[in-house]
Amino acid sequence: MERSITWFFLVYCCCCCCCCLASLSTDQSALLALKACITSDPQNMISTNWSTTTPVCNWVGVTCAARHLRVAVLNISYFGLAGTIPPELGNLSFLVDLQLTNNSFSGTLPVELARLRRLKLVSFGYNNFKGEIPSWFGSLPKLATIHLSGNQFTGSIPPAIFNISTLQVINMSKNKLSGSIPRAIRNLTMLKDLYLSYNNFEEFPTDIGTFDQLEILDLQFNSLKGHVPLSVFNMSSLITLSLSRNSLGGNLPDNICQHLPFIQGLYFDENQFDGALPSQLWQCKWLLVLLLFRNNFSGTIPRNIGNLTHLQDLALSDNKLTGTIPDEIGYLQNLKLEKASKSFDIECEMLSNVRHRNLIKIISSCNQSQFKALVLDYMPNGSLERLLYYEEYCSLNILERLNIMIDVASALEYLHHGYSVPIVHCDLKPSNILLDDDMVAHVADFGITKLLGGGDSMTETMTLATVGYMAPEYGMEGIVSRRGDVYSFGIVLMESFTKKKPTDEMFVGEMSLKRWVADSLLSDAIVRVVDANLLGKEEDHDFLNKRDCLSSIMRLALDCSAESANERISMQDAAITLHKIKNNFLKNIAAV
């Protein structure tokens, strides 16, 4: 009897092992099919590692579940891969997490992926997928996060997606989606984050519904028209409501803050809202950001705006507001006004003493206890940030961007080496670079400028510049030197030709704008990172000239933004190098 039981368990265990091995073999075949569809692997992440001589569970990017030894996670994000997705990937039946973010996969998504019914997270962001978003996503009953931003998806959002009751995060920003936001979206009662920005949506459903758990609603940079449905202002969990850069109009309700008790960011700028400013804004006690500029608001600024004690950013310009600026604005000690007086005096002193064609000129100033303002030369072409990211302006070619950055380099070279005392700007970024009628760049905003004692002297400060642009030694130790400006210049140089902010959502973990650009140069894949509007087609007669020019620019940007301050080049050398790059570019154009 005991012998029979022993044999039974031996046979059972053998069967289980054979079953597991057979199943793992299925997973291996699915991954090898993916490997076969990869046409470019510049970092050799897949080509040298995914081999039948090593166990599947040890392959890079692959994680197996401990209990059943099946592939549970496939994360090959940031590998720089190009290719297509094979239907065999749908055989990874135990897959829970599928991430392909920031590669160059293209084509459409195969319907066989609908078999991955255990999936909880799908991240296909920042690739080149196209076509309509597949309706089979609605067949994934456990899906909590769907991230498709930064692709070429067109059409509308398939209604089937709104049948997934478990969805908590939807990110479909930066595609070419259009039409109306579907009514069925109100079915997603668990939804927390909804990102649909940078698309072509034209219409809100009038009965979009109330989401009890929604915290982020981002619909900026679309083509939304008409009034904002009142139900939007009844989503009591909202922390951020971003409707910037649409064609929305009408009045804003007076009681916004009463219904949005936790709101921290209200982004209504660049629309067609009119009427008076909401009279009960003071009830938004946690509000940090209030952007209402470039609308048609009229009337006066409510005095109770001074009760927004946490407010850090307030923008009301380019409206039809009248009357005086209320003294109560002076109570906003957090609207970055704490050191405003000192900063204002510094900026006045700087701008009144420096003279350079690429520095902003001061015309007049107002320096009162409760109100301070500089009257500067009007720059009709706005900021470099606006030129880069607003659709009607984002047609800057290589030469135009080069000229802008040469202007900026010239301004910084003057501040660092051409004035009696070296000046460090400390906060260079695209929003501080303004363009005049002739597209000549002028560096502005000297609010946290520092004077140095000469040479390469350093000073310490508690003032922080903008995250993403500040040099490491500035952010960590408060050390200011001319090399810190050089670092910021390098980041702005990269941003100007990639059209990617250093704070873009694609840069997470160890991946940064610098790392992204550096990897592309190592793998000779600069075409993947630069703004797609700059290169044209490979068969174009000037394609190679453009590619070589952009590679040189990116190498210079990396030399400027080296991690160690001692390894960065000077602003003088950066300016000379940019001129050489421009001259070579023009010479090669003339030779074609």
Contact 572, 409 (CB under 8 A): no
Question: Kindly report the CA angle at 274 between 269 and 278, in degrees rounded to 5?
Answer: 80
**How many Cα neighbours within 13 Å face the side chain of 390?**
15
What Rg value do the Cα atoms of the chain yield, rounded?
Answer: 28
Amino acid at 362: I
Element (H, E) at 129: strand 128-132
Q: Which two tokens stand for residue 242?
A: 């971003």
d(CA 309, CA 277): 18
Q: Which of 507, 512, 521 is nearest to 555 (CA)?
A: 521
Instruction: Label residue 64 left, alpha or beta by phi (over 0 means left) and psi (-120 to 50 means alpha).
Output: beta
Helix (H, G, I), strand (E, B) or coil at 73: strand
Question: Kindly report the CA angle at 143 between 109 and 139, in degrees rounded to 5?
Answer: 60
Is the dihedral angle over the CA atoms 295, 297, 302, 304 positive or is it negative? negative
d(CA 500, CA 517): 11
Q: Which two tokens stand for residue 122?
A: 């799908």
Q: From the candidates 218, 269, 427, 504, give the one annotated as an active-site residue.
A: 427
Residues in the chain: 592
User: Any residues with CB less than 8 A from the CB of 508 and at least 6 apart, and which?
Assistant: none
Q: Find how far residue 283's CA is from the centre of its chain.
A: 30
Contact 482, 570 (CB under 8 A): yes
User: What residues form DSSP beta bridges with 106?
Assistant: 128
Q: Which of 175, 190, 183 is nearest to 141 (CA)?
A: 190
Helix (H, G, I), strand (E, B) or coil at 515: helix
Question: Active-site residue 427, yes or no?
Answer: yes
Catalytic positions, written as ranges: 427
